[in-house]
Amino acid sequence: MEVVSALSYFTVFLTFIYLFVVGTFIRGWAKIPYFKWNESKPTTKVSILIAARNEEDKIGKTIDDILAQDYDKSLIELIIIDDHSTDETSAIISSYTSQGVQLIQLNEANALNSYKKKAIQTAIGQATGQLIITTDADCRMGKNWLKTIVNCYEANGHKMISSPVAYFEEKNLFENLQTLEFSYLIGLGASTIGNNNPSTCNGANLAYEREAFFAVGGFKGIDDLASGDDELLLHKMAALYEGKIGFLKNRDAIVYTHAKPNVKEFLQQRKRWASKTTRYKDKLVIALGLSIWLFNVSIIVNSILAVIFTDISLKFLLFQLICKLTIELIFLYDVTKFFKRKSLLFLLPLLNPMHIVYFVYIGLAGNSGKYNWKGRMVK
């Protein structure tokens, strides 16, 4: 019993760490002001880059949204890299060449572990825009998306701007749960930027200076990893340009994409995202990440012990669950308010226990072995 008691009190320590960490997220999100763009005419030439593989059912709509941007067309360069598609993706992109869309086709003879970084690096080498903006081939955006990003760039002089991404057009409960969880991830990334300690972003809506990309050495040092064209590049940028990383808190800057249709694809995606953590260099971020993972492990341990030692372990378990649910509700209230998805908060009690198990699993699976990405096994 003494061992069980000591273990239970250790879980309290982990719980307070978790409360502190999410508390910093709440503060970081609040520190980012809502950006209000002005009516000044933008003068920055931008290169929008999209790496696409087997996106024949979505790529056309993405291109249409970009071509419909309320922005001087002479200042837009849209480059799409076809990453060895086996469907009609390339043909669809080619049908837009008369409208200025540029197509690059990867023709790597040897297998790579990071096709996406190769695609982006190749496109940046040919790009002529001062500002590089990356998005995905399955994203949708409003007509003021580009104007808002550039307005923020010209007003604040950021070297890199992380902008919001959201899921939409959910078809079922599973996809709604993903939307809520994804909102947490986007809010988390924004909050670390707000706290001037950038740790995560999303390449589906990321902008950075072309010259800054070359100044940090591009993807050198991280080009052997399949993922990380966003997060690990962010770390390199933040190390060289302290205080020059921004998060664009404006609804016009949101790009929309779809949640994964099934558990298998969802887990493959999250394993890919988690694989980047092996390259984190900030020891504080690693320590905090490990403590959060241990916190979730401790909840599972307390759940098991509660069945055996009902009195003491059950009390600690309930304490952990209540603390976790409460602090996350406070954080997600403002984040979902920004995305206009507060109605999803009622799913948090359902998401919470599922997320605990999934988080522990991904922490292990994402840092070991290979995973499937776009029909290819990578690591």
Q: Using one digit for the tens of pLDDT, what is the confidence trace for 85-124? A: 999 999 999 999 999 999 999 876 655 556 788 889 999 9
Confidence class for position 10, pLDDT limits 50, 70, 90: confident
Tens-place pLDDT, residues 61-71? 999 999 999 99
Question: In 3D, which of 153, 145, 175 has the Cα closest to residue 266?
Answer: 175
Reduce the DSSP state of residue 138 to 3 states and report it. Answer: coil
Does 154 score more than 90 pLDDT? Answer: yes
**DSSP 8-class letter at 243:** T
Dihedral angle sign, alpha carbons of residues 318, 323, 324, 328: positive
What does the mean pLDDT of the chain come to? 90
Q: Does domain 36-173+197-260 have CATH number 3.30.43.10?
A: no
Residues whose CB is less than 8 angstroms from the CB of residue 330 and which lie 6 or more positions away in sequence, other chains included: 26
**Where in the chain are the domains?**
36-173+197-260
Q: Which residue has the tokens 């605990």?
A: 356
Structure tokens at 279: 């390259």
Rg (CA), the chain: 21
Its sign, for the CA torsion 194, 200, 204, 207, is positive
Around Cβ 149, how many Cβ atoms within 10 Å? 29
Place of tokens 């603390």: 323
User: Helix/strand/coil (H, E, C) string of 12-59?
Assistant: HHHHHHHHHHHHHHHHHHHHCCCCCCCCCCCCCCEEEEEEECCCCCCH
Q: Are 46 and 150 in contact (CB under 8 A)?
A: yes
DSSP E strands, 53-110: 76-82, 102-105
Q: Judge whether residue 2 has pLDDT over 70.
A: no
Tally of CA atoms within 13 A in the half-sphere of 257 that contains its CB = 20
The Cα 119–Cα 95 span in angstroms is 20
Residue 315 has what pLDDT? Answer: 86
C-alpha 177/C-alpha 161 separation (Å) is 27
pLDDT digits (tens, 9 = 90+) for 192-232: 999 999 999 999 999 999 999 999 999 888 776 766 678 99
Query: What 8-state DSSP symbol labels residue 33?
Result: P
pLDDT one-digit tens code per residue, 124-150 = 999 999 999 999 999 999 999 999 999
Structure pTM?
0.92
